[in-house]
Amino acid sequence: MVTSEYAMGIVAAVAFAVVLYKVVTSGAVSTELQRIVKQALSVRM
């Protein structure tokens, strides 16, 4: 790939990471992830 294609790939990856970060840190998703982790850690064998 040409350097400009690498640059476009990096820009796209960063944009995707920002969107993913916003989704994961939103209130509803964050609360649900915390609930899942707490439930997983409290499982007894």
pLDDT at 1: 57
The number of domains in the chain is 1
Helix (H, G, I), strand (E, B) or coil at 2: coil
What is the span of the domain harbouring residue 31?
3-41
pLDDT at 27: 85
The conformation of residue 42, written as its DSSP 8-state character, comes to: T
pLDDT at 45: 61
Contact status, residue 29 vs residue 23, Cβ threshold 8 Å: yes
- How many whole angstroms separate alpha carbon 37 and alpha carbon 3? 41
Q: pTM higher than 0.75, yes or no?
A: no
pLDDT at 33: 86
1-45 pLDDT per residue, tens: 589 999 999 999 999 999 999 988 888 888 888 899 999 999 776
Q: Which residue reads 């990096």 in tokens? A: 10
Sign of the dihedral through C-alpha 29, 31, 28, 45: positive
pLDDT at 38: 92
